């Protein structure tokens, strides 16, 4: 009986579901990739519970049909501008005999690092170990078994608004599913589109979605900073609807077919047809006018993303460049504009699973969904492998989440 891992990406514009089948040797085959319109969310946050529940149920049913399996539990993404991240540091004395560092020491030092004062309306979503320092030796990924007297940990702590997390959790449970874990969306996307080399050299991941643009900075193999810009592709569409006085769904269509984030010399010569509102006759406008509307908004989004990177202190360490993903990054000219703003090479992040529905998955809109499945696969490893301590930690966070929901 194969095992299945389901990723549920509750986006502002679409609910993406990706189902992976885990065969022998942990080989992953993608058996469903679906995208259905989402209702009830704004900028990554649930604003209408009932609509969100229905959207989730519909999306999962479609994926179940595609895969021919029943889904009971999911790894779900969490995002939105309520997400905050900070770096923490903890120190403990190694407790055991012979100064040998044990998993228990690691657990204690991570506990010490996470002991930051949190306002009562915020809860921890992830504690991501960056590196351990044994005595004065830095850059250690796994200190268990090493000798030392003093163990330090540097961790990246991601927090979210308690109520926003609860509403995501509730929507999924009401749709009849169990939440295996809530995962920060850009962290999930990073698993699907970044290479180990890029993460080592220093890379910025930008997930330009419909409602939000998520930023994550990696350096020396670890996540260093995460941030959110509360704007996305939907704002671009709305600008077009207002600027060209056309219905929103027509504006979306025009954006996808003719939209561009940078001016091109031929723009003045090309015209596009714009349907009018409420039965008014359609008219033709120059493509240059369309780009005049799109360009400033895309520039604003990317500049705010760059501000986020500067705030992280890693702006000069982007040796692996920028990787853009999410549906909004498909807009023509986006990578060029981003190169101008960031001053480093920019590439498109496309998930590339090795087996199964490779073509369907190969779209930046599915980076989060595919990444959630990869995250689940990693967690599976964690249960049997030497990362036992980390798995315990994640269980602990989940346990805690249950507690604030009154489920345990």
Ligand X SMILES: Nc1ncnc2c1ncn2[C@@H]1O[C@H](COP(=O)(O)OP(=O)(O)OP(=O)(O)O)[C@@H](O)[C@H]1O
Is residue 44 a contact point for Mg ion (CB under 5 A)? no
Is residue 186 a contact point for ligand X (CB under 6 A)? no
Closer to ligand X by Cβ: residue 37 or 313: 37
Q: How far is residue 235's CA from residue 81's CA, in Å, rounded to a whole number?
A: 15
Closer to ligand X by Cβ: residue 43 or 224: 43
Is residue 351 a contact point for ligand X (CB under 6 A)? no
Backbone angles phi, psi at 260, to 5 degrees: -155, 145
Is residue 347 a contact point for ligand X (CB under 6 A)? no
What is the pattern of x (binds ligand X, CB under 6 A) and - over residues 66-105? -------------x--------------------------
Is residue 202 a contact point for ligand X (CB under 6 A)? no
Options 212, 226, 246, 379; binder of ligand X; rule CB under 6 A: 212
Output the CA–CA distances (angstroms, integers) from residue 276 to 163, 206, 245, 284, in the order listed: 41, 34, 7, 10
Residue recorded with tokens 């073509």 = 359
**CB neighbour burial string for 32-68, b if at least 16 within 10 angstroms, e if fewer:** bbbbbebebbebbbbeeeeebbbbbbbbbbbbbebbe
Cβ 365 to ligand X shortest distance, Å: 4
Is residue 331 a contact point for ligand X (CB under 6 A)? yes
- Three-state DSSP class for 195? coil
Give the start-end residues of each E strand in 283-377: 283-286, 322-325, 346-348
Cβ 193 to ligand X shortest distance, Å: 12
> Which of the listed partners (ligand X, Mg ion, none) does 171 bind, with a CB threshold of 5 to 8 Å by partner kind?
none
Is residue 272 a contact point for ligand X (CB under 6 A)? no
Cβ 10 to Mg ion shortest distance, Å: 8
Q: CB of 198 within 8 A of CB of 321?
A: yes
Closer to ligand X by Cβ: residue 35 or 130: 35
Options 4, 5, 13, 148; binder of ligand X; rule CB under 6 A: 13
Options 154, 252, 267, 390; binder of ligand X; rule CB under 6 A: 252
Q: How far is residue 359's CA from residue 65's CA, in Å, rounded to a whole number?
A: 18
Size of the site for Mg ion (CB under 5 A): 2
Tally Cβ neighbours within 10 Å of residue 91: 12
> Which of the listed partners (ligand X, Mg ion, none) does 14 bind, with a CB threshold of 5 to 8 Å by partner kind?
ligand X
Q: How far is residue 211's CA from residue 213's CA, in Å, rounded to a whole number?
A: 7
Q: CB of 208 within 8 A of CB of 231?
A: no
Stretch that binds Mg ion, among 10-18, 66-74, 111-119, 300-308 (CB under 5 A): 10-18
DSSP 8-state code for residue 100: B
Is residue 209 a contact point for Mg ion (CB under 5 A)? yes
> Which of the listed partners (Mg ion, ligand X, none) does 287 bind, with a CB threshold of 5 to 8 Å by partner kind?
none
Question: Rounded to 5 degrees, what angle do the CA atoms 276, 278, 281 make?
Answer: 35
Lookup: tokens for 104: 């228990």
Q: How far is residue 2's CA from residue 97's CA, in Å, rounded to a whole number?
A: 43
Cβ 405 to ligand X shortest distance, Å: 22
Closer to Mg ion by Cβ: residue 11 or 148: 11
Options 20, 90, 148, 210; binder of ligand X; rule CB under 6 A: 210
Q: How far is residue 105's CA from residue 92's CA, in Å, rounded to a whole number?
A: 8
Cβ 326 to Mg ion shortest distance, Å: 6
**CB neighbour burial string for 291-303, b if at least 16 within 10 angstroms, e if fewer:** bebbbebbbebbe
Is residue 295 a contact point for ligand X (CB under 6 A)? no
Output the furthest CA–CA distance in the chain (Å, rounded).
Answer: 84
Is residue 34 a contact point for ligand X (CB under 6 A)? no
Where do contacts with ligand X occur on this chain (CB under 6 A)? 11-14, 44, 79, 209-212, 232-234, 237, 252, 255-256, 259, 326-328, 330-331, 365
Where do contacts with Mg ion occur on this chain (CB under 5 A)? 11, 209
């Amino acid at each position: 009986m194969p095992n299945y891992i389901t990723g549920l990406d509750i986006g502002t514009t679409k609910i993406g579901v990706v189902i992976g089948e885990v065969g022998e040797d942990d080989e992953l085959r993608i058996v469903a990739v679906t995208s259905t319109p989402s209702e009830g969310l704004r900028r990554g946050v649930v604003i209408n519970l009932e609509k969100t529940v229905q959207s989730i149920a519909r999306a999962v049913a479609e994926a179940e049909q595609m895969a021919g399996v029943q889904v009971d539990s999911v790894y779900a993404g969490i995002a939105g501008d309520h997400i905050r991240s900070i770096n923490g540091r903890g120190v403990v004395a190694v407790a055991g005999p012979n100064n040998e560092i044990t998993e228990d020491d690691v657990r204690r030092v991570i506990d010490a690092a996470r002991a930051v004062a949190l306002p009562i309306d915020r809860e921890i979503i992830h504690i991501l170990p960056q590196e351990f320092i044994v005595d004065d030796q830095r850059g250690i990924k796994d200190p268990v078994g090493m000798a030392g007297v003093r163990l330090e940990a540097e961790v990246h702590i991601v927090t979210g608004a308690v109520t926003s997390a609860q509403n995501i959790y509730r929507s999924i449970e009401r749709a009849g599913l169990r939440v295996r874990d809530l995962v920060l969306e850009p962290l999930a996307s990073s698993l699907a589109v970044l290479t180990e080399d890029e993460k080592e050299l220093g890379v910025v991941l930008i997930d330009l979605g419909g409602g939000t643009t998520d930023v994550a900075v990696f350096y020396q193999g670890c996540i260093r900073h995460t941030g959110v810009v509360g704007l996305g592709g939907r704002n671009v569409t709305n600008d077009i609807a207002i600027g060209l006085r056309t219905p929103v769904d027509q504006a979306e269509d025009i954006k996808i077919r003719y939209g561009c984030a940078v001016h091109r010399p031929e723009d003045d010569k090309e015209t596009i047809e714009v349907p009018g509102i409420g039965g008014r006759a359609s008219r033709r406008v120059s493509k240059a006018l369309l780009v005049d509307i799109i360009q400033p908004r895309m520039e604003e989004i990317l500049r705010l993303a760059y501000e986020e990177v500067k705030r992280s202190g890693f702006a000069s360490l982007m040796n692996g460049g920028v990787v853009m993903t999410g549906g909004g990054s498909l807009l023509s000219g986006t990578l060029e504009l981003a190169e101008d703003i960031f001053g480093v090479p920019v590439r498109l992040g496309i998930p590339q699973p090795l087996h199964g529905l490779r073509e369907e998955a190969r779209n930046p809109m599915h980076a989060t969904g595919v990444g959630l499945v990869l995250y689940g696969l990693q967690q599976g490893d964690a249960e049997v492998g030497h990362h036992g301590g980390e798995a315990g930690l994640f269980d602990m966070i989940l346990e805690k989440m249950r507690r604030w929901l009154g489920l345990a």
